[in-house]
Amino acid sequence: MSRMTPKFKFHECLVVLCLLSFGECHYYVTISDDGPIVQGGTITFQAEVYDSDGSRPEGTFRFTWKDDTLPLHSWVDETRYPNSTWSVTYPREFYPGPYEVQVNVDKYDIIFYHEICSRRQIFNISAFLNGKMELVQGSLINSNFVSNETQVEHEIDLSRADHAFLKNATEVSTYWFVDCVFYGLSEDLTFNYSYSAVGADHLVEALVVASFEPIITTTTPPTTTTSTTPSTTTTSTTTSTTASPPNSTILSSSASPSLLTALKDAGNTGLNTNEVGSTVNQGLTFTNVSHIKVPYVCRNSSIVPPDKNKTYGYFHRKMSVRAPIQNITIKGTNWLQEFETLDLQVVCRGSGNFNACNLKKPADYNSTGEETCPPNQISVSPNCQFNVSQFYSSSNYTVLFIISNDVSKIVYPIKVILYKVQKHAQLSVIVVPVVCSLIAVIMVVFGVAYYVQRRKRFTVEVADFDFGHGVGDMEYKTFRERLREAVLNSVNRDFGVDGEGRKTPTHMRAIDFYSSVILMLMEVIGPIHV
């Protein structure tokens, strides 16, 4: 039994180690690199180990790197950190194309390493420099549209590995072509140019030539001068050295003669930054690309074998010229009465199409120029003319007009001010009642006066009849006597005295007189019998 105890412990340890080994499968590793790289460049790989929950594990790790190139490259890195970095330089002799890199990760547990994860990844080695041509107008342009108002900076953005590779070059030259016309070279990777024709399309191409050959100075053979005298002979030697200008490169004879001639001619050409289609500067020499035998130039139509001792890069970019938004005009008023609708018209100039929207902001809002339109509020129009008719608020506010096209964006704030109008009673409300009241008073006064005057016109006569007397007591009068009495009564009235001695009005007397005359005539004419 005492001999079996060590065996049992040893097997137990093996079981524990196996369980640990099988339990480590939840790790995973990622690989990243700064490729692709050009032939002769150096690529850097980086491996990162993670736990299944995304955390970084602790312990001692062993990273085993290798690739599938011929000859094979490999490297082992033991570290206490869950990451490893491997840099490999691939000489020019390696053929361009895809290759594979692999990393195996082992973790140290108790007494030995055991594998926890591994990964493979494809990387590329190219024959030409890797990168892209960027367009800059104040900021990086992500589209293929440029403004005709601002100079365009063309910049070659190389991959990180190739950018580091060119730092070791003795000379870097970039040849620039616009629409297959050579416009000169630059010693860096930038080129400034202006485009003025709105609506025109252009193709810009760049050929980068990097040389890693050491700068060679040429020397002339020593010149020997001998002078003879009768007594002595003196020999003197004079050596003259001619240095080449700085940054000069002795071109290899292995390059094609047409390429050497083209590059030599291009080296004597200054970089032109005038706009396309403008008058050419007489001091510059322009060469049509059809006569320059350089690789991958003018829409890839000219292909010649390049110099094997140099590194090349070809980059191109197509672009369209557009006019930016300008001359914004706001038609309408921003002074409104309370609860009045805002009614404005926005007009501007530029190249369409235009995207526009308007946003309501507080009255004290300061625009940053970085505001954007919500996707559901964007209106698109080929013409820069937008109408706004909307009620926003009953207090002061700011309206942001956001207008953009392919090359520009403008945020135009308008402060809207609301004011109160003091209400006054209308003139008719005061005048009409007063006039009507005066008319009513006048009518009442005249009515009362007329009534009083009419009352005065009437004469009330009271007849005093003695109905107790008989008929026989009444005096009998003939017609002639009654006529005489009536005439006398009328005459008395004409003199303003009635039968009782009271004065009568003139018009009343006239009426009584004419009435008596008419009555007498009627009695005379007609047979009246009493």
The tens digit of pLDDT for each residue in 35-88 reads 899 999 999 999 999 999 999 999 999 999 999 998 999 999 999 999 999 999
CA distances from 44 to 66, 379, 455, 476 (A): 13, 48, 132, 165
* CA-closest candidate to residue 114, choices 16, 20, 15, 11: 20
* CA-closest candidate to residue 408, choices 457, 355, 334: 355
* CA-closest candidate to residue 287, choices 311, 314, 307, 267: 267
How far is residue 117's CA from residue 243's CA, in Å, rounded to a whole number?
59
- 10-126 CATH fold: Immunoglobulin-like (2.60.40)
**Structure confidence at residue 256 as a pLDDT band (50, 70, 90):** very low
* CA-closest candidate to residue 36, choices 130, 105, 128, 149: 130
How far is residue 350's CA from residue 177's CA, in Å, rounded to a whole number?
28
**Structure confidence at residue 504 as a pLDDT band (50, 70, 90):** low
Q: What is the mean pLDDT of the chain?
A: 76
Indicate whether 230 pLDDT > 60. no
How far is residue 209's CA from residue 380's CA, in Å, rounded to a whole number?
45
**Structure confidence at residue 151 as a pLDDT band (50, 70, 90):** very high
Indicate whether 252 pLDDT > 80. no
Looking at residue 295, what is its pLDDT? 44
How far is residue 432's CA from residue 449's CA, in Å, rounded to a whole number?
26
Looking at residue 241, what is its pLDDT? 32
Q: Is the dihedral of CA 167, 172, 178, 184 positive or negative?
A: positive
In this structure, the dihedral spanned by the alpha carbons of residues 321, 327, 333 and 335, taken in order and rounded to 10 degrees, is 100
Looking at residue 183, what is its pLDDT? 87
Average pLDDT for residues 133-139, to the nearest whole number? Answer: 90
Average pLDDT for residues 247-267, to the nearest whole number? Answer: 36
Least reliable range by pLDDT among 48-52, 55-59, 365-369, 500-504: 500-504
Residues 324, 149 contacting (CB under 8 angstroms): yes
Asked, colleague to colleague, whether 10-126 and 326-419 share their fold, the answer is yes
Looking at residue 245, what is its pLDDT? 33
Sorted by sequence, the CB contacts under 8 Å of residue 284 that are 6+ apart come out as 184, 269, 270, 272
The dihedrals phi and psi of 489, each to the nearest 5 degrees, come to -65, -35
Average pLDDT for residues 277-288, to the nearest whole number? Answer: 37
How far is residue 418's CA from residue 422's CA, in Å, rounded to a whole number?
13
Looking at residue 471, what is its pLDDT? 54
CA distances from 499 to 54, 477, 488, 491, 521 (A): 141, 19, 10, 11, 22
Looking at residue 246, what is its pLDDT? 32
Indicate whether 487 pLDDT > 50. yes
Average pLDDT for residues 241-260, to the nearest whole number? Answer: 33
Please tell me the CATH superfamily of domain 326-419, with its number.
Answer: Uncharacterised protein PF12988, DUF3872 (2.60.40.2410)
What tens digit of pLDDT does each residue of 86-125 get? 999 999 889 999 999 999 999 998 888 999 999 999 999 9
Q: What percent of the chain has pLDDT over 70?
A: 66
Q: Which range scores top for mean pLDDT: 203-207, 447-451, 454-458?
A: 203-207
How far is residue 391's CA from residue 459's CA, in Å, rounded to a whole number?
79
CA distances from 399 to 26, 108, 191, 441 (A): 56, 66, 41, 59
pTM comes to 0.61
Looking at residue 29, what is its pLDDT? 96
| SS3 category, 299 | coil
How far is residue 88's CA from residue 42's CA, in Å, rounded to a whole number?
5
Least reliable range by pLDDT among 35-49, 125-139, 499-513: 499-513
CA distances from 53 to 23, 28, 47, 80, 496 (A): 15, 10, 17, 20, 138
Average pLDDT for residues 432-455, to the nearest whole number? Answer: 86
Q: Which range scores top for mean pLDDT: 16-20, 92-96, 260-264?
A: 92-96
Specify the higher pLDDT residue, 419 or 59: 59
Average pLDDT for residues 27-31, to the nearest whole number? Answer: 95
Specify the higher pLDDT residue, 442 or 478: 442
* CA-closest candidate to residue 271, choices 279, 262, 281, 261: 281
Average pLDDT for residues 156-167, to the nearest whole number? Answer: 94
Q: What percent of the chain has pLDDT over 90?
A: 39
Residues recorded for the chain:
530
Specify the higher pLDDT residue, 482 or 32: 32
Long-range contacts of 488-494 (CB under 8 A, 24+ apart): 489/516, 490/516, 490/517
Looking at residue 131, what is its pLDDT? 94
Specify the higher pLDDT residue, 500 or 172: 172
482 sits in the region (left: phi over 0; alpha: psi -120 to 50; else beta) called alpha
Residues 209, 186 contacting (CB under 8 angstroms): no
Q: Which range scores top for mean pLDDT: 13-27, 184-198, 298-312, 493-507?
A: 184-198
Looking at residue 237, what is its pLDDT? 33
Provide the H-helix boundaries in 393-495: 427-457, 479-494
* CA-closest candidate to residue 28, choices 116, 92, 107: 116
What tens digit of pLDDT does each residue of 300-323 get? 665 555 688 889 998 999 999 999
How far is residue 268's CA from residue 266's CA, in Å, rounded to a whole number?
5
* CA-closest candidate to residue 45, choices 71, 75, 25, 80: 75
Specify the higher pLDDT residue, 75 or 184: 75
What letter would DSSP give residue 219? B
Q: Which range scores top for mean pLDDT: 284-293, 460-469, 483-492?
A: 483-492
How far is residue 241's CA from residue 512's CA, in Å, rounded to a whole number?
162
The residues spanned by each domain of the chain are 10-126, 131-322, 326-419, 475-525
Indicate whether 229 pLDDT > 60. no
Looking at residue 305, what is its pLDDT? 58
Give helix 479-494 / helix 506-525 axis angle, nearest 10°. 160
Specify the higher pLDDT residue, 20 or 239: 20
Residues 101, 121 contacting (CB under 8 angstroms): yes
Locate 319 and state its tokens: 């672009």
Indicate whether 267 pLDDT > 80. no
What tens digit of pLDDT does each residue of 190-200 get? 999 999 999 99
Locate 186 and state its tokens: 């630059």
Looking at residue 335, what is its pLDDT? 87
The dihedrals phi and psi of 17, each to the nearest 5 degrees, come to -65, -40
